[in-house]
């Protein structure tokens, strides 16, 4: 686990450095994810240790959003003041984003979509 965690941090660090060096608008961890994916493709897959650690981290992915979410306290005033545009915009735009993505994808992959559920 220690080795796998160190590896993940090294990729994040590399992503962070690369993003800054090249002046990318993309955050370091996302660049790190792309780098790790490239290495996995070259080495034909992760080892058991890395797979286990990644699974452990991702199993509780929701937990990692809790501290930022609690920041709602700082903006309670603003949220209360603008509740109508915020609520309507968030609810409808989320539904629209989900719907448009799913429908476009369904139309484009219709012939192969049946294979998906059986795997």
> Scanning residues 66 to 95, which ones bind another protein (CB under 8 A)?
66-75, 78-79, 82, 84-86, 88-95
Minimum distance, C-beta of residue 22 to another protein, in the bound complex (Å): 13
Is 17 or 93 the residue whose CB approaches another protein more closely? 93
Report helix, strand and coil shares of the chain as percent, to nearest 5.
Answer: 85, 0, 15
Residue 117 CA to residue 61 CA, distance in Å, equals: 24
Site for another protein in 23-42 (CB under 8 A): 25-30, 32-34, 36-37, 40-41
CB of 19 to another protein, least distance (A): 10
Q: Does 22 bind another protein (CB under 8 A)?
A: no
Using CB under 8 A as the binding rule, whether residue 62 contacts another protein is answered as yes
* Four-residue CA torsion sign, 90, 98, 35, 2: positive
Least distance to another protein, CB of residue 3, Å: 13
Establish if 17 lies at the interface with another protein (CB under 8 A). Answer: no
Pick the closest to residue 15 from 38, 45, 35 (CA basis): 35
- Measured between its terminal Cα atoms, the distance across the chain in Å is 29
Between CA 30 and CA 16 the distance in angstroms is: 9
**Closest by alpha carbon to 51, among 71, 67, 36, 32?**
36
Nearer to another protein, 17 or 90 (CB): 90
Of the two residues 22 and 66, which places its CB atom closer to another protein in the complex?
Answer: 66
């Amino acid at each position: 686990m220690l080795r796998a965690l160190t590896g993940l941090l090294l990729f994040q660090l590399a992503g962070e450095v690369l993003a800054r060096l090249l002046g990318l608008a993309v955050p370091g961890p996302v660049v790190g994810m792309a780098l790790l994916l490239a290495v996995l493709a070259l080495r034909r897959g992760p080892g058991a240790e890395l797979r286990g650690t990644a699974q452990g981290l991702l199993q509780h992915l929701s937990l990692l959003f809790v501290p930022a979410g609690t920041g709602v306290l700082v903006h309670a005033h603003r949220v209360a003041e603008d509740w109508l545009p915020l609520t309507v915009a968030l609810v409808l735009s989320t539904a629209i984003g989900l719907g448009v993505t799913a429908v476009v994808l369904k139309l484009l992959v219709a012939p192969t979509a049946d294979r998906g559920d059986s795997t």
